[in-house]
A and B are shown apart, each in its own frame.
Chain A
C-alpha cells in the first residue's frame, strides 16, 4: 500500500500551529477542512491585519519551519465591506525538507516515510488572508526576502491586480508588456471582458482599428 501522511498527525500539527500564531496581535487562525476528491485534508486558515503580516511571516519562517511559499493571490472586491476592498491570499507550506546528509563523500538521499512523520517534519498547508481597506494604492509588506519563491508571485500580483508590495526589490511587469500604461491592472474589477465581432478579424487582421462590439453598452 502506498504511504501517505496520516490525517490525524497533520490535524494535530495544524492545531498546534494555529494556536501558536493566534497569539500574535492582529492574527486569527483556525484549522479548516478542505476536500480533494474523496480525501479531506486539514488547512491552517488565518486572517492577519496588514500591520502584523510581516511579523507573522518572520515567525512562521524562523519558528514554525514554514519554508515554502506556494502562491500569492490578489483579489479586488469593489463591492465588499468598507475595510475589505482588497484581499491578498498567501498559500504557504511546510515541507520539512533538509539537505541530504553527506557520509563518506556520498550524498545519502533522505527517504521520508510518510506514515511515520512527526513534529516539525509533518507537511502542512497554510492559507492566510490579509484584507486592506478602500484605497487607490493598496500595498502590503513584501516577504520576498523570507521566501524567494514569493518574489515572482508578488511581481505577478502587482502586474495583474495592482497590489503593491512595500520593500520589494526590482518590481516590474512580468506577464504584460513592459510599456503597459501606468496604473493598468487587468484583474481589477472595473475592467470588463469585451467581445469582438468575428467580421472584425477579416477587415483588420492586426486589430488596430477594432472597436469592441459592445462599445457604449458597458460602463
Chain B
C-alpha cells in the first residue's frame, strides 16, 4: 500500500523526520507523538503537499515520478483547515469534487452525515473552528481515495460529529477499502476505532508501538 524506502525532511537546518524502510498495508493506523514530534509534517510530506528528500510510493506509484497519479490516490485533512473567507462551503465542494471525480449524490450524503448542509451557502469567514474542521473533513472524504490522512480529526468537533466521523471511517473501509492514517497526541481509545497498528513518531523516526 504505502512504501517509504527512505524519507527525510528538514526545516532549514533542523531535521524533523528521518525515516527508513517504512511500509503499511491496507488498514487503520494511529500515529502518536508529542507536540512538535513531526506528525503533521509526516502527513503533509506523504500527501505530496510539501517537499522532502527520498521517495514515497502508493501501490508502487512514486510521488517523485508520477506526482499526479500519486496525489489522486490520497487525501489529507489538516489539523486546522483554512479557506478563503469569501468562499462558501458550496464553492469549495464544487472545486474539490471536480478534482476528485465526486458526484453530487456523494456530496449530499457526506453533508448529511457530517451535518454541514445548513451552512453550505455561508461564507467561510463566518465559520467557527468546528465548522471549518467539518468542512475540511468533508473535502477529504470526497471521491474514492485509497488513503485518507486525518490530522487530529477529533479536535474542535462535537461528540455527535465524532460518532458520525467514526461511522464514516468504518464505512469507507468497508465500501472503498480505504486506508486511514490518523494522528493524535491524545489517547483515542475511547473513540472505539479498531486500529490495526499504532505508530509513534519519536526522535525523527517512526516506530511501531507494541
Partners in one complex: no
Residues on B facing A (Cβ under 8 Å): none
Using a CB–CB distance below 8 Å, which chain A residues touch chain B?
none
